[in-house]
Amino acid sequence: MQAASGDSVKPRARFVGWPLLVALLLGTMIFTVRWLHEPARPIAMRLPTRDLTFVGAPVCASCHQHENELWRGSHHQLAMQRARDSTVLGDFNHVTFDNNGVKSSFFRDGSKYMVRTDGPDGALHDYEVGYTFGVYPLQQYLIAMPGGRLQAFGIAWDTRPRESGARWMTPPASAGTRNRQRLPKRRL
């Protein structure tokens, strides 16, 4: 080839690696996007679980005497207890409570504390109270459901003195914002 002035011009070399470069860039982008969207995997740790057992408060108290004294009798210690005569504060003497048209009954079956109320299917069933939850100003109950799970019951016992409490009620958080009551704070 000759230029207009008579100089010869070399033909421009054509880059043949474009498909390779495009494939490399696409592969890098795909890898980066997948890597950014992949959830982080926690580092696998092997903890010694074979010999771990619940040791209970007396073992802890042997080293933490002051903390144990502060904890004993506190709301934290009494927060969740098995349902027994010494822990259940509610009236389970065949008392009925109406909550939006559902009549729930509280009674005893031997040493068991029971609630007859509507179940997941809408029919009335008897449920055993497994645990108490709290001591003041409300005591709620965990009832044993089929399959071994526990369900927090939506009706609680107001543990305040008879003038303002000592009754079954729907806890304020469950009653909605319009009927919310303010319960006074009190230390045991």
DSSP string, 49-98: -TT-----HHHHHTT-HHHHHHHTTSTTTTSEEE--TTT--S--SSEEEE
User: Partners of 45 in the beta sheet?
Assistant: none
- The Cβ of residue 172 has, within 10 Å, a number of other Cβ atoms equal to 15
Q: What is the mean pLDDT of residues 52-72?
A: 90
Mean pLDDT of 159-185: 66
d(CA 41, CA 38): 9
pLDDT tens across 120-162, in order?
A: 888 999 999 999 999 999 999 999 888 888 999 999 999 999 8
What mean pLDDT value characterizes the chain? 82
pLDDT at 141: 96
d(CA 151, CA 1): 90
Please tell me the pTM assigned to this model: 0.61
Interior CA angle at 80 toward 76 and 84, to 5°?
130
Tell me what percent of the residues of the chain surpass a pLDDT of 90: 43
CA Rg value for the chain: 34
CA distance 108 to 97: 15
